[in-house]
């Protein structure tokens, strides 16, 4: 029995040594410019340690990229980045694969994270040049997403049962109070983005989005058509302008038409810090005949602290003008968000939001001005290793609470969203 056990151990060590030799030879073949031979050597390879797994994935990813097979390289490189999220060279190779596959936004995201690691000047310059080339996307792109969204109060109604009007109590109809519902959220869009001149792109797009509750709450959906121009690149400053029209429906009935124009500018202050700002002017016409003009401004700054953590701070202002005081007013809001990427591919995002909304005049029923304050929190969970035919699942949990001087405008809502999304 002892001889048999010794023989088994010896055979195991021999096999492990043979596997290790296969990995070393595959790495040598990559250095010698023979990617096919490197892949063949690893066909039956079984890594015995985490370090060996990282080395194997790197060889397979690089070999397939050199054979101009980015689709074959992608799963190896995605797994590699999930295992070692702080290694910038892995992210840059993944960005190269994504760029060849036309997944521009994902590629730019990984380049930004890699540059936060403090790359050598020459490599950082090449990464910036690569990002600039990627900012000229393919002419036609699109997206589609589907999600199940259970919510405790999707219509944002009050939980109060009684209101006082002129000193008299009135019962609120149960159908007008908070009710839970589960909806199906759909979103899709197509964008044509032709290059008109060096550094200048046009935009012509259409998008639809909505949530459908099957009678448990009013369906709410809208369509949007837009056209615009984008000039420059993030590295030196990118300006954009857009004109758009949209129509919103509630339970199959038109609710409002919007005509708007947006001007924006974004630039990278450092390899790991990006600022973005925009101003918007809108004219909204409701089917009731009511009209409103809305002016808004937004600004945000995103800083990648390291390849695993980034933070975003945002602020917004809004001014509404209308003949109706229950719509006219102004809003100020701030937000703080962050995202952390764990080893293994799990990503957790947290966003906190706070806003104050002041309405002009006196409420016609309650006889006092309406002032709202709203606070919200959102948690996003995803995993870079979860993917099915290009669809990536995302779990989102959210909570919002609004307080108001008008009790019927107070509400709270807890929601969840489990869905999949894909860009093409």
Three-class SS of 214-265:
CCCCCCEEEEEEEEEEEEEECCCEEEEEEEEEEEEEECCEEEEEEEEEEEEE
SS3 category, 93: helix
Sign of CA pseudo-dihedral 249, 189, 104, 27:
positive
Which pLDDT score, from 0 to 100, does residue 9 have? 32
* Longest Cα separation, the chain: 98
Residue position matching structure tokens 């990627």: 134
Q: What is the pLDDT of residue 137?
A: 62
pLDDT at 8: 38
Cβ pair 423, 413 in contact under 8 A: no
Give yes or no for a contact between 189 and 207, defined as CB atoms under 8 angstroms apart: yes
Dihedral, CA atoms, 166, 170, 173, 176, nearest 10 degrees? 30
pLDDT computed for residue 271 by the predictor: 86
**CATH hierarchy code of domain 11-134:** 1.25.40.10
If you average pLDDT over each of 9-18, 46-55, 351-360, which comes out highest? 351-360
What are the residue ranges of CATH 2.40.160.40 in the chain? 140-423
Neighbours of 283 (CB within 10 A): 13
Ranges 101-115, 128-142, 336-350, most confident: 336-350
Mean pLDDT, residues 112-123 taken together: 86
**34-43, 58-67, 77-86, 381-390: least confident range:** 381-390
Greater pLDDT, 288 or 2:
288
105-137 residues labelled b (16+ CB within 10 A) or e (exposed):
ebbbbbbbbbbbbebeeeebeebbebbbebbeb
Mean pLDDT, residues 123-141: 81
Model pTM?
0.80
**Residue 296: predicted pLDDT:** 98
Provide CATH 1.25.40.10 ranges for the chain: 11-134
Q: Is the pLDDT of residue 99 over 60?
A: yes
* Averaged pLDDT score across all residues of the chain: 87
- Could you tell me the pLDDT band of residue 19, with boundaries at 50, 70 and 90? low
Query: Looking at domain 140-423, which of 3.40.50.2300, 3.40.50.720, 3.30.565.10, 2.40.160.40 is its CATH number?
Result: 2.40.160.40
- What is the per-residue pLDDT for 263? 98
Give residue-wise pLDDT tens across range 204-261.
999 999 999 988 899 999 999 999 999 998 888 999 999 999 999 999 899 999 999 9
Over 70: is that where the pLDDT of 158 sits?
A: yes
CB within 8 Å of 342: residues ≥ 6 apart: 85, 308, 348
């Amino acid at each position: 029995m002892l001889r048999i056990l010794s023989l088994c151990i010896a055979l195991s060590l021999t096999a492990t040594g043979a596997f290790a030799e296969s990995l070393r030879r595959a790495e040598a073949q990559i250095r010698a410019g023979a990617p096919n031979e490197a892949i063949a050597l690893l066909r039956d390879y079984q890594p015995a340690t985490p370090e060996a797994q990282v080395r194997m994935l790197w060889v397979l990813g690089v070999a397939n990229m050199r054979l101009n097979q980015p689709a074959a390289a992608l799963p190896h490189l995605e797994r590699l980045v999930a295992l070692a999220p702080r290694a910038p060279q892995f992210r840059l190779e993944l960005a190269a694969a994504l760029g060849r596959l036309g997944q521009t936004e994902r590629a730019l995201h990984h380049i930004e994270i890699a540059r936060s690691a403090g790359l050598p000047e020459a490599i950082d310059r090449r990464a910036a040049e690569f990002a600039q080339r990627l900012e000229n996307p393919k002419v036609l792109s699109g997206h589609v997403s589907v999600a199940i969204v259970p919510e405790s109060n999707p219509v944002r109604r009050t939980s109060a049962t009684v209101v006082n009007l002129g000193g008299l109590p009135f019962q609120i109809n149960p159908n007008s109070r908070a009710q839970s519902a589960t909806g199906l959220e759909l979103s899709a869009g197509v964008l044509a983005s032709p290059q008109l001149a060096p550094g200048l792109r046009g935009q012509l797009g259409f998008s639809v989005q909505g949530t459908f509750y099957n009678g448990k709450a009013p369906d709410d959906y809208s369509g949007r058509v837009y056209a615009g121009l984008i000039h420059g690149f993030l590295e030196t400053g990118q300006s954009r302008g857009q004109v758009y029209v949209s129509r919103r429906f509630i339970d199959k009935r038109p609710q409002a038409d919007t005509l708007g124009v947006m001007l924006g500018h974004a630039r990278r202050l450092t390899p790991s810090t990006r600022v973005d700002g925009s101003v918007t002017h809108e004219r909204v016409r409701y089917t009731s005949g009511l009209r409103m003009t809305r002016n808004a401004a937004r600004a945000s700054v995103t800083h990648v602290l390291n390849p695993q953590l980034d933070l975003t701070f945002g602020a917004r202002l809004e001014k509404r003008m209308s003949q109706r005081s229950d719509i006219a007013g102004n809003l100020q809001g701030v937000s703080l968000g962050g995202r952390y990427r764990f080893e293994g591919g799990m990503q957790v995002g947290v966003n906190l939001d706070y806003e104050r909304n002041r309405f002009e005049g006196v409420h016609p029923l309650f006889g006092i001005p309406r002032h709202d304050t709203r606070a919200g929190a959102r948690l996003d969970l995803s995993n870079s290793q979860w993917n099915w035919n290009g669809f990536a699942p995302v779990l989102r949990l959210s909570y919002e609470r609004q307080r108001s001087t008008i009790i019927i405008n107070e509400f709270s809502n807890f929601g969840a969203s489990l869905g999949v999304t894909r860009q093409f």
